Amino acid sequence: MAELNQVEVWKRTKTIGIIGLGDMGQMYAEKFSESGWTVVCCDREERYEELLECSQNKKYTILKNGHHVSRISDYIIYSVEAEIIDKIIGLYSPSTKVGSVVGGQTSCKSPEIKALEKHLPPDADIVSVHSLHGPGVDPEGQPLVLIKHRCHNDKSFPFVEAVMSSLKSKHVYLTYEEHDKITADTQAVTHAAFLSMGVAWYKIQLYPWTIGVNRWFGGFENVKVNISLRIYSNKWHVYAGLAITNPAAHQQIMQYAKSATELFTLFAQNKKEELTQRLYAAKEFVFGKQEGLLLLDDSILEKYSLSQHVPQEGEETLPNSHLSLLAIVDSWHQLKINPYDHIICSTPLFRIFLGVTEYLFMTPDLLDKTIDAAINCDAFRADDLEFVIAARSWSSIVSFESYDLYRRQFEEVQEFFKPMLPEANVIGNEMIKTILRHVDQKKA
């Protein structure tokens, strides 16, 4: 990192440009400008008047387009969808200020780096970043990847580090190839699980928190519901970019659908011994070396429910097969991924689901009870079938590399849950804060 007096000089003399004012671009603009940096931004030209109106009380400046931003900015961040990153960089790169630093903020770096190399003038340095969390999460303490790809000027990278220190995140230094492998390992399977849950509930036209304590009630279920709805409250391209542009993610999403299908087949065929052997092999591979306290426990999740139902005496919750969780751990085993290897570079959602799967597999007798429910209790059998179909549909969409199909399926489900999304986000935010605070205490 640069000396403090050097940072103050940069704040007085350098301009930060952000091309793309979606949720993350806007968060960056606000954090940087509030920290004393001069920040200029733009989005699509048709949004210019709207953004001028909305930013009257902000400390950053709205410009008409990326040409205006690029020609005056010393560090330019392209914060646009992965699907259009090549097109947008190609459009505005001719206006890049001489000697500036340029990077992107997409979740898959391979196409981004290729686009920067292809279109930028040779005098521009390339430093890309990726905040490993959504726009609704406080960036303080969260992982922030910095990729020093091409630096002719030895001050370029310290300059970017200084800018990014405004977020108060934990800096993680990777190559773009390392970044793409790690983000696939920590996000692809978990996103597939949450997306598939949403599709399954949509297909059976059910809000799972509305049916009392009979099913989907308790701490585990609160995590599933809240985080699935949290994903569907965001923009579709946030997840499509990672899934479709990252080859490592393709493999993992295919495996998740395969694991869900094969485990469900064992449920349906009553092959308890084979199911037990398979899941215990996965448990040994993923959790065999874990010792000490678990990251999470079910009790801290109980109160974060959308359900208004108060359990009455004599009411019981039917045991769930937890197919979505079992398939995640089975996928990690089949792909030989150790999720703990990347914990420093993981998203909040990944740490939560790792904690929940850890609790399911490592709490005495809980895995056995889950296996027994999967074989002997058919209360969730129809729902598990819908879940398998949903997981396979996502894997097909990703294999076709179809942004249009991805968007259509995502937005159909999003529309179904739309009435509940504001409340779900409030409850989900509180749940995530509690869980992450709990996880940090356990690691301390």
| Confidence check: pLDDT of 210 > 80 | no
Mean pLDDT of all residues in 413-436: 78
Question: Which of 104-118, 208-222, 356-370 is predicted most confidently?
Answer: 104-118
Is residue 123 located within the same domain as residue 212?
Answer: no
User: What's the Cα-to-Cα distance from 294 to each of 81, 185, 364, rounded to whole Å?
Assistant: 37, 21, 12
Tokens 């994903």 belong to residue = 231
pTM for the full predicted model: 0.84
Model pLDDT, residue 309: 47
Is residue 169 located within the same domain as residue 182?
Answer: no
Residue 223: band (very low, low, confident or very high) from pLDDT cuts 50, 70, 90: confident
Model pLDDT, residue 258: 98
Q: Is the dihedral of CA 241, 246, 249, 251 positive or negative?
A: positive
Is residue 155 located within the same domain as residue 183?
Answer: no
Distance CA 324, CA 260 (A): 7
Is residue 103 located within the same domain as residue 57?
Answer: yes
Is residue 188 located within the same domain as residue 316?
Answer: yes
Is residue 135 located within the same domain as residue 183?
Answer: no
Mean pLDDT of all residues in 31-58: 96
Residue 242: band (very low, low, confident or very high) from pLDDT cuts 50, 70, 90: confident
Residue 235 belongs to domain spanning: 178-443
Residue 317: band (very low, low, confident or very high) from pLDDT cuts 50, 70, 90: low
Is residue 139 located within the same domain as residue 153?
Answer: yes
Q: Which of 123, 150, 174 is the last residue of a domain?
A: 174
Q: Which residue has the higher pLDDT, 351 or 440?
A: 351
Is residue 269 located within the same domain as residue 149?
Answer: no
Total domains in the fold of the chain? 2
Mean pLDDT of all residues in 119-141: 92
Is residue 100 located within the same domain as residue 211?
Answer: no
Is residue 407 located within the same domain as residue 283?
Answer: yes
Q: Which of 133, 157, 174 is the last residue of a domain?
A: 174
Q: Which of 174, 197, 212 is the last residue of a domain?
A: 174
Q: Which residue has the higher pLDDT, 205 or 128?
A: 128
Model pLDDT, residue 438: 61
Is residue 268 located within the same domain as residue 355?
Answer: yes
Model pLDDT, residue 335: 95
Per-residue 3-state assignment (H helix, E strand, C coil) for the chain: CCCHHHHHHHHHHCEEEEECCCHHHHHHHHHHHHCCCEEEEECCHHHHHHHHHHCCCCCCEECCCHHHHHCCCCEEEECCCHHHHHHHHHHHHHHCCCCCEEEECCCCHHHHHHHHHHHCCCCCEEEEEEECCCCCCCCCCCEEEEEEEECCCCCHHHHHHHHHHHHCCEEEECCHHHHHHHHHHHHHHHHHHHHHHHHHHHHCCCCHHHCCCCCCCCHHHHHHHHHHHHHHCCCCHHHHHHHHHCHHHHHHHHHHHHHHHHHHHHHHCCCHHHHHHHHHHHHHHHHCCCCCCCCCCHHHHCCCCCCCCCCCCCCCCCCCCCHHHHHHHHHHHHHCCCHHHHHHHCCHHHHHHHHHHHHHHHCCCHHHHHHHHHHHCCCCHHHHHHHHHHHHHHHHHHHHCCHHHHHHHHHHHHHHHHHHHHHHHHHHHHHHHHHHHHHHHHHC
Model pLDDT, residue 444: 47
Is residue 136 located within the same domain as residue 277?
Answer: no
Q: Crossing angle of helices 403-417/421-443, nearest 10°?
A: 100
User: What's the Cα-to-Cα distance from 223 to each of 163, 284, 355, 441, rounded to whole Å?
Assistant: 35, 24, 11, 19
| Confidence check: pLDDT of 82 > 90 | no
CATH number at residue 143: 3.40.50.720
